[in-house]
Amino acid sequence: MKKRRLGNKLEVSCLGLGCMSMSGAYGEALSMDAAAALLRAAFDRGVTFFDTAEIYGPFLNERQLGRGLAGFRDEVVIATKFGFRLKEGEKQSQGLDSRPEHIREVVDAQLQRLGTDHIDLLYQHRVDPDVPVEDVAGAVAELIEVGKVRHFGMSEAAPDEIRRAHAVQPLVALQSEYSLWSRNVEQAVLPALRELGIGFVPYSPLGRGFLTGTVQPDSVPEGDFRHDMPRFSGEAAARNYRLVDALRAIAEEKGCTAGQLAIAWVLHQGEDIVPIPGTRRLERLEENLAAADILLSEADLAAIEAAFPAEAVMGGRYR
């Protein structure tokens, strides 16, 4: 698989694997053996970038990666995240917590769960309004100094927050949602990242599965993370599904699936972008990775933009 560099420092496969769904966000969690098999399959197909977080599970996802990546740990890049107050056995966080002392505690626990002596890329999962981002960046800088962390990143941060943190400890990546139906980063965030030389890691490039065309409106069951998201039900979902139908028509002409076209579109937005589509199934993994080989012309990109205009998307990302 082709490689890309985040922040001109961290080389990764041009597509990573978002691992959240393996620990039960969209249904039952995979067993440790099943998760390990999927991680191995991704690595065997050229994926070297694996994304997790302490809140996925919580904690289970990091344990799945610790076991599943153990045989080839030094050949991959592991990204994980801190920023919530969590308790073992409880599904919901107790709120945000990016206090420096908490970050240090979290990282020590993450290293144990991941079975490694360092974290390649450590993100602040969400900005904590009670802790200055300068203090957060300073705490991560100390962890980098002692070798527990290699690189710093943030998630869903605003340009001003990114600039302030970057001045203390340079970021190599920002992770935020980005896809054909979530394009809010284009106006201010992406320009700021490019000015500062920071890479961009879009999560949910498939619109949490909706852009594949396989998720029907009002079909997400209770217990699924997407059940209460406005875009997946009612009039919003029906309208959004018509956009997916238009995308699927273009994909048929290109000889690919709607999901592959959606991922290819994200890849074509810049060489500094590394999407991390997630899945629990081998056939979907293979389908997603094949998107890296799809070439889109200027005419193709224009057709996609016309069929799926950002302003036509209905419903918020979260309730």
Q: Which residues pair with 151 in a beta bridge?
A: 121
The pLDDT of residue 97 is: 98
CB-based contact 235:266 (threshold 8 Å): no
Burial class (CB in 10 A: 0-12, 13-18, 19+), 253: exposed
Q: CA dihedral defined by 57, 62, 65, 71, rounded to 10 degrees? A: -150
Amino acid at 84: F
Q: Which residue has the higher pLDDT, 26 or 177?
A: 177
Q: Which of 31, 27, 24 is nearest to 67 (CA)?
A: 31
Length, in residues, of the chain: 319
Class of the CATH domain delimited by 3-207+268-294: alpha beta
Question: Which value, in Å, is the radius of gyration of the alpha carbons in the chain?
Answer: 19
For the chain, the farthest-separated pair of C-alpha atoms sits apart, in whole angstroms, at 54
Neighbours of 145 (CB within 10 A): 10
Q: Where are the domains of the chain?
A: 3-207+268-294
Q: What pLDDT, in 10s, does the model give residues 240-292?
A: 999 999 999 999 999 999 999 999 999 999 999 999 999 999 999 999 999 99
Q: Which of 231, 285, 291 is nearest to 21 (CA)?
A: 285
The pLDDT of residue 222 is: 84
pLDDT greater than 90 at residue 316: no
Distance CA(241)–CA(235), nearest Å, equals: 10
Active site residues: 56
Average predicted confidence (pLDDT) for the chain: 96
Q: What pLDDT, in 10s, does the model give residues 108-162?
A: 999 999 999 999 999 999 999 999 999 999 999 999 999 999 999 999 999 999 9
Give me the helices (H) in 234-294, please.
Answer: 234-254, 258-267, 282-290
Q: Which residue has the higher pLDDT, 224 or 78?
A: 78
Beta-strand (E) ranges in the chain?
A: 3-6, 10-13, 17-18, 49-51, 77-82, 119-124, 149-155, 171-177, 199-203
Tokens of 285: 């993994």
CB-based contact 180:265 (threshold 8 Å): yes
The pLDDT of residue 86 is: 96
Distance CA(116)–CA(285), nearest Å, equals: 25
Amino acid at 271: E
Mean pLDDT of 30-36: 98
Distance CA(23)–CA(302), nearest Å, equals: 37
Residue 303 three-state SS: helix
Helices (H) and strands (E) in the chain, counts: 10, 9
Distance CA(66)–CA(78), nearest Å, equals: 10
